[in-house]
Amino acid sequence: MSMKRQSLDVDIVCVGFGPAMGGFLSTLARDPDPNLQVVCCERAGDIGFGVSGAVTRARGIRQTFPDLDPSAIPMAAPVSHERIAYLLDPIGASRRSPTLRAADRVLRLLHLPRHHAFELPFIPSFLRKDGGMLLSVGQFMQWTGEQAMSTGAVQIWPGVPVSEALLEDQRVVGVRLLDQGTDRAGVPASGFMPGMDLRAALTVVGDGPVGAVGRQLDAVFGLPAGHHQHEWAVGAKMVVDLPEAVDLDPGTVFHTFGFPEPEIFGFFYVHPGHVASVGIFVPSWFNNPARTSYRYLQHYILHPYLWRYLNGATLRSWGAKSLQEAGKHGEPFLAGDGYARIGECSGSTNVLTGSGVDEAWTTGIQLAEAVKELRAAGKPFTKPNLEATYTARRRASWVEREGRVAEKARDGFHHGVVIGLLGMALAGATNGRLSIAGEPKLIPTLEEYYRHKLTTAEIEEVRHQCYSRGVAMHDALMERCGWPAIPFDGQLLMSQQDALLIGGKVQAPDGYADHVTFLYPDFCERCSAKLCIEMCSGQALTPGPQGVPLFDRDKCVFCGACIWNCRQSLDDDPVRTNIAFRAGAGGLHSNEN
Ligand SMILES: Cc1cc2nc3c(=O)[nH]c(=O)nc-3n(C[C@H](O)[C@H](O)[C@H](O)COP(=O)(O)OP(=O)(O)OC[C@H]3O[C@@H](n4cnc5c(N)ncnc54)[C@H](O)[C@@H]3O)c2cc1C
Ligand code: SF4
Ligand code: SF4
C-alpha cells in the first residue's frame, strides 16, 4: 500500500483563495514576473465557493482595479441606500433584558416603530459604506481568479486542500497536500495517494478564520503576548430571488440588530436582477448553548420589517461560515522565515465596522508589493526581510489604523447588549480611545441558560425525546420557549435538510479522512451539554451511540464553527476543545454566496 510521496518545487505556494489571496494574486498578476512560479491551493471544489455578505467600501479592491465597473461582475452593484434598523420582537419569545424591554415599550408608546422596527435617523460614519460596493463574494472571487489566471502569472488549483505547512527548524518550507484514497479515519485504502509536498521559498497563508494551516502556525509559534482568539461568530445567509413586485434598488443595504435575539445582527442586501442576500451573525458573546443559526435565520426572515419584501421569495442558495471576531486582539505573528499571513487568519477583520473583505484584500496587496520589493532587491523571504517590507506596509496602512480603533470596540458585549452597543458607539465616536472593557465568559449549560423558562425535568424530557430520534434539541427547546414553528412553504422556508438539498449543495468526495473528529471520545460520553450538536450549522453532528456524536460529512457546510462548539477544553491546552477541525475536501457547492 505504500506509495512514494511526490514533491514539487515552486517559488511561492499559497493556501486558500479568499479575498486576501485575491488581493495578493491580482497584484502579482498586474505586473507578471516570468521567473516566478506561483501556485495557490484552494480546498473548495471551485474558486468561487466562498461565503460572505458582502458590502464593502472596496478601497483596496479599487486600488487593484482603478477602473472597476461593478456591472462587469455578476451580482455586484454600487451601494445606493443604507439603513440601520433596530428590530423589536413581534412574537415575545426573544430573551430581552429589562432595559431593552423598557426601551421597546417607550418606542411603542411613542408610535415610532414601523413594521416592528425603528430605523435609526442617521448612520454613524464608521458604519457607512457610501461609495462602496455590494458583492457576492463567490461571484467576485470567480471574476478575480479568472482575471489573475488569464495573465499566466499565477495558477489557482481548486479542490486541493492543504493538510499542513512543512516546517524545518522553525522555517516554513512549503506545504503538504491532503492524503487521498483513505477511509474516514485517514487509514490508507484502495487508490491511496499520499498528499504531494509543494516546496517553496515563500508560503502565503490566507486560509481564513478556521484554516488548518493558520491554526497549525499559531500552535507552533504561539500568538504575540496578550493576544487571543476567543471571539468568533457564525454568519449564516441565504441568497434569494425577490418577488417581482419588490421595487428596492440594487445596492440597497439594511443592517439590523435586536431580533431574533438582541445579540444577533442581521443584513439584507439587494443585488441586481431582483436577487437579495439575507443573513445573520450569531456572535460568541450570545450565550445560548442551543444556538441554531439556520433556525434563527428563518425567524429573522419572518420579521415583518423584512417579510414585507421576502414574502413570496425563493431560495437560491445558502451557506454558513465562521468569522474570526477577535480582530487585532487575535493577530498572530504576520511573518516568519519562509511564510507570511494575510487576511482574516492574520487578524485583519474589523470588528467595529463588521467588514473583512476589503481589509483582507488590502493585506494581500501589501504582501504582493513586499514580494516585488524583495525580489527586485534579490533578498530572501526571511522573517526580518518580510517584517521590513510586508509588516511595515501593514502597520502604516488604514487596515492597521482602523483595526486599532476597533480593537476593544465590542468588549462591552460581554456585559450585555445595551452596554455592548454603548461600547461600540463610544469606540466609534472617540476613534478607539474609549471603550467598555469585558472578558469572554464560558457558555452556560442548557439547564443554566433556560432556568427561568424550563425546569431541569422538562429539559431532560426534551433531551430524551430528541436524542431517541437522533436529532438535536434546539428546535424543540425554542418551541417550548414560545418561538412559533416555521411555516414551511417549500420555496423559501424549508427544513434544513431540504435547504441542504436545494440551496446548500453540499458535496463530500470519498477518499478523504473526516475533517471533524472528537479527540477524546470518553469526554463526549460523559458530556451532557453536547453543544457541538446543538450549535452545528448543518445538522452534520447528531446524537450517537454511547454519547459520542455522529458526524455526517454529506451535511457539513464547512462553517468551521465546531472548533468552538464544544464546552470541554483540554487540560494540556485550555484554548483547544475536544473537537478537531482539520483540512478537508468538499463542503458547499454554490458560487452565489
Ligand atoms: C455571512 C457572512 C457575511 C459577511 N459579510 C461581510 C460584509 O458584508 N462585508 C465584509 O467586508 N465582510 C463580510 N464578511 C467577512 C468576510 O467574508 C471575511 O472577512 C473575508 O472573507 C476574509 O477573507 P479571507 O481571504 O481572509 O478568508 P476567507 O474568505 O475565509 O478565505 C479563505 C479561503 O481559504 C480556503 N482554505 C481554508 N483552509 C484551506 C486549506 N487547508 N487548504 C486550501 N484552502 C483552504 C477556504 O476554502 C477559503 O476559500 C462576512 C462573512 C460572513 C461569513
Ligand atoms: S465534542 Fe465537546 S460538546 Fe460535543 S459531545 Fe464531545 S465533549 Fe460534548
Ligand atoms: S460539523 Fe460542519 S456544519 Fe457542523 S459546525 Fe462543524 S463545520 Fe459547521
pLDDT in the model for residue 2: 56
Q: Which three cell numbers stand for residue 394?
A: 501593514
SS3 321: strand
The tally of CA atoms less than 13 A away on the side-chain side of residue 254 is 23
Q: What is the mean pLDDT of residues 403-415?
A: 88
Mean residue pLDDT of the chain comes to 92
pLDDT in the model for residue 189: 93
Task: For residue 504, name the pLDDT band (cuts at 50, 70, 90).
Answer: low
Q: d(Cα 83, Cα 71) in Å, to the nearest integer? A: 23
Q: d(Cα 292, Cα 289) in Å, to the nearest integer? A: 9
Is 414 or 567 the better-scoring residue by pLDDT? 414
Q: Which atom of ligand 3 is nearest to the CA of 539?
A: 4
The tally of CA atoms less than 13 A away on the side-chain side of residue 270 is 22
Q: What is the mean pLDDT of residues 339-364?
A: 95
For residue 200, the cross-strand partners are 10
Q: d(Cα 290, Cα 462) in Å, to the nearest integer? A: 13
Amino acid at 96: R
pLDDT in the model for residue 304: 98
Phi, psi of 351 (to 5 degrees): -80, -10
pLDDT above 90 for 241? yes
- pTM score > 0.75 for this model? yes
| Residue of 514, 517, 518 to mutate, ligand 2, most atoms within 8 A of C-beta | 518
Cα–Cα distances (Å) from 198 to 160, 171, 188, 340, in that order, read 12, 15, 21, 16
pLDDT above 80 for 30? yes
Q: Which atom of ligand 2 is nearest to the CA of 579?
A: 1
Contact in structure between 186 and 179 (CB atoms under 8 Å): yes
Strands (E), 391-521: 506-507, 516-518
- CA 451, 455, 460, 463 torsion-angle sign: negative
Q: What is the mean pLDDT of residues 82-99?
A: 95
Peptide bond into 54 cis (omega under 30): yes
pLDDT in the model for residue 223: 93
Q: Which ligand is nearest to the CA of 551?
A: 3
Strands (E), 55-179: 55-56, 77-78, 81-87, 117-119, 133-134, 154-157, 162-168, 171-177
Q: What is the mean pLDDT of residues 92-121?
A: 95
Ligand 2 pocket residue status of 531, Cβ below 6 Å: yes
Q: What is the mean pLDDT of residues 483-499?
A: 92
Q: d(Cα 323, Cα 353) in Å, to the nearest integer? A: 13
- Widest CA span of the chain, in angstroms? 75
| Residue of 446, 516, 523, 569 to mutate, ligand 2, most atoms within 8 A of C-beta | 523
Q: Which ligand is nearest to the CA of 518?
A: 2
Share of the chain above pLDDT 90, in %: 72
Q: What is the mean pLDDT of residues 534-563?
A: 90
Share of the chain above pLDDT 70, in %: 99
Task: For residue 574, name the pLDDT band (cuts at 50, 70, 90).
Answer: low
- Lowest-confidence range among 286-290, 308-312, 474-478? 286-290
Q: What is the mean pLDDT of residues 15-34?
A: 96
SS3 551: strand
Provide the residue count of the chain: 593
Write down the number of H helices and E strands in the chain.
Answer: 18, 28
Q: d(Cα 158, Cα 21) in Å, to the nearest integer? A: 13
Distance 548 CA to ligand 2 centre (A): 8
User: Grid coordinates 506509495 are at which residue?
Assistant: 3
Residue 71's CB is within 10 A of a number of other CB atoms, namely 11
Is 90 or 576 the better-scoring residue by pLDDT? 90
- pLDDT single digits (tens) 171-202: 999 999 999 999 999 999 989 999 999 999 99
What ranges in 89-180 are assigned the alpha helix state H? 98-109, 137-150
pLDDT in the model for residue 331: 96
Ligand 3 pocket residue status of 559, Cβ below 6 Å: yes
Residue of 395, 386, 388 whose CA lies nearest to 339: 386
Residue whose Cα lies nearest atom 5 of ligand 1: it is 53
Amino acid at 65: F
Q: What is the mean pLDDT of residues 190-216?
A: 96
Ligand 3 pocket residue status of 577, Cβ below 6 Å: no
Contact in structure between 350 and 327 (CB atoms under 8 Å): yes
Phi, psi of 230 (to 5 degrees): -85, -10
Q: d(Cα 581, Cα 517) in Å, to the nearest integer? A: 7
pLDDT in the model for residue 1: 53
| Residue of 473, 474, 517, 524 to mutate, ligand 2, most atoms within 8 A of C-beta | 524
Q: d(Cα 219, Cα 35) in Å, to the nearest integer? A: 34
DSSP category for residue 185: T
- pLDDT single digits (tens) 135-167: 999 999 999 999 999 999 999 999 999 999 999
pLDDT above 90 for 565? no
What ranges in 110-198 are assigned the alpha helix state H? 137-150
pLDDT in the model for residue 463: 92
pLDDT in the model for residue 503: 56
Q: What is the mean pLDDT of residues 394-411?
A: 93
Q: d(Cα 210, Cα 18) in Å, to the nearest integer? A: 13
pLDDT in the model for residue 5: 93
What ranges in 207-303 are assigned the alpha helix state H? 212-221, 293-301
Amino acid at 291: R
Q: d(Cα 473, Cα 62) in Å, to the nearest integer? A: 46
Q: d(Cα 227, Cα 331) in Å, to the nearest integer? A: 7
Q: d(Cα 53, Cα 539) in Å, to the nearest integer? A: 22
Ligand 3 pocket residue status of 516, Cβ below 6 Å: yes
Name the strand (E) or helix (H) holding 108: helix 98-109
